[in-house]
Amino acid sequence: MTSAASADELLPGIRLGVVRGTTYGLFGPPEEFVPQARALGAGIVRVNIYWSQVEPEPGRFVWTALDALLEQLDDGDEAWVTVCASSEWATRRTTRWLPASPALDIDRYRHFVRALAAHRPGRIRFWQCEIEPCLPLFWAGTAGDYLTQLRVFHDAVEQADPAALVVLAEGIRRNLYYPIAPEWDFHRDSRAAGALMFGKLQLLDSRGGIIGHRHPAADAFESMARLLRDVTRVRRIPVTDRPDLYLFEAERSHGTPALVVWERGGDEGSANELAWEWRYLRAHAVDVYGARVPVDIAAGMLRVPISPTPVFIDSAVAGGR
């Protein structure tokens, strides 16, 4: 892959995906989650893999977690693996989990990463070095330590699997939702961040190692994934006289573009109106929760109520003009 390759060549289309959680197979058997993610419309999944679980002792490799992920992938699925330098024998800070820290021997780290990427080359599309090294929760080292390790990581992946990409973070073309389901019962302590945040944003439940029951956020994710399927470009449309209006057009490789709109401020229960030129015969709209939103089309104009809740607008019949 050359550095001159365009973003469209490297990352065709736009995909929504999910992260399994902070760990995968570290504190228990790696469970099935990719089919559930695929059912929500996810086109990419991400897991965190720790040095401690892949090479628990020097030279002894355990592929249980990585193989469990790979066996769930279908053709067309993309996989992203974030590799964390956490080890009870090979890193500056002794731990199985977090925070990760610099390798005691950079050549051993190179060997570990090369072995990981070479295990089944061509199956993992994206490799990431560490979670968020800017935060002490995830990285117990300096910025210089991280850059040193990142260079070695990049070279090792490139040698083992030239078709793979080394990435630093998510972006518009690959956007990942964290997490698909909790890894433990956050609600035992309401002060935990998971109880404060993920209770509202949680997609699915995880009980007894099985990911299943859907929450309202799962319906919102599925609606958004369906609307953005085959999207090639998203652009914001400025509306000069309404600075609090957020209007986006999603261009798609097949069918007509779609609109996403909301208005900042105001009360959730009250709604203003969007009047927009509409070249299609029909339209349908749903909000982020999947509830239908009334639309009116007359004289080439679309009228739809808007509020702080995002609304997805699409032509009812692809190509209907």
- pLDDT of amino acid 195: 55
Q: List the Cα angle 246/249/254 in 5-degree steps.
A: 160
Measured CA angle at 314 (ends 198, 226), to 5 deg = 45
pLDDT at 14: 85
3 pLDDT more than 80: no
Q: Torsions phi, psi of 68, nearest 5?
A: -60, -40
Residue with structure tokens 């228990």? Answer: 28
For 17-40, the pLDDT digits (tens) are 999 999 999 999 999 999 999 999
Residue 318's pLDDT band, with cuts at 50, 70 and 90, is: very low
Each residue's pLDDT tens digit, 286-316: 988 788 999 999 999 999 999 999 999 998 5
Q: Where in the chain is CATH 3.20.20?
A: 7-225
Query: pLDDT per residue over 208-258, tens digit each?
Result: 778 988 888 898 888 888 877 888 888 999 998 899 999 999 988 877 889
With a cut of 50, say whether residue 16 has pLDDT above it. Answer: yes
For 98-153, write each residue's pLDDT tens digit.
999 999 999 999 999 999 999 999 999 999 999 999 999 999 999 999 999 999 99
* Residue 1 confidence (pLDDT): 47
The β-bridge partners of 44 are 17, 78
List the single range of 45-49, 87-91, 152-156, 210-214 with lowest mean pLDDT: 210-214
Tell me the C-alpha to C-alpha distance, in Å, between residue 147 and each of 65, 105, 137, 272.
27, 15, 18, 49
pLDDT surpassing 50 at residue 319: no
Q: Where in the chain is the domain with CATH 2.60.40.1180?
A: 230-314
Q: Report pLDDT for 12.
A: 81
Share of the chain above pLDDT 90, in %: 64
pLDDT classification of 266: cutoffs 50, 70, 90: low
| CA dist., res. 306 & res. 280, Å (int) | 20
| 59-88 per-position pLDDT tens digit | 999 999 999 999 999 999 999 999 999 999
Checking if the pLDDT of 6 tops 70, the result is no
Instruction: Give bridge partners of residue 304 from the DSSP assignment.
Output: 274
User: Residue 289 has what pLDDT?
Assistant: 79
CATH 1.10.3470 holds for 7-225:
no
CATH class of 230-314: mainly beta
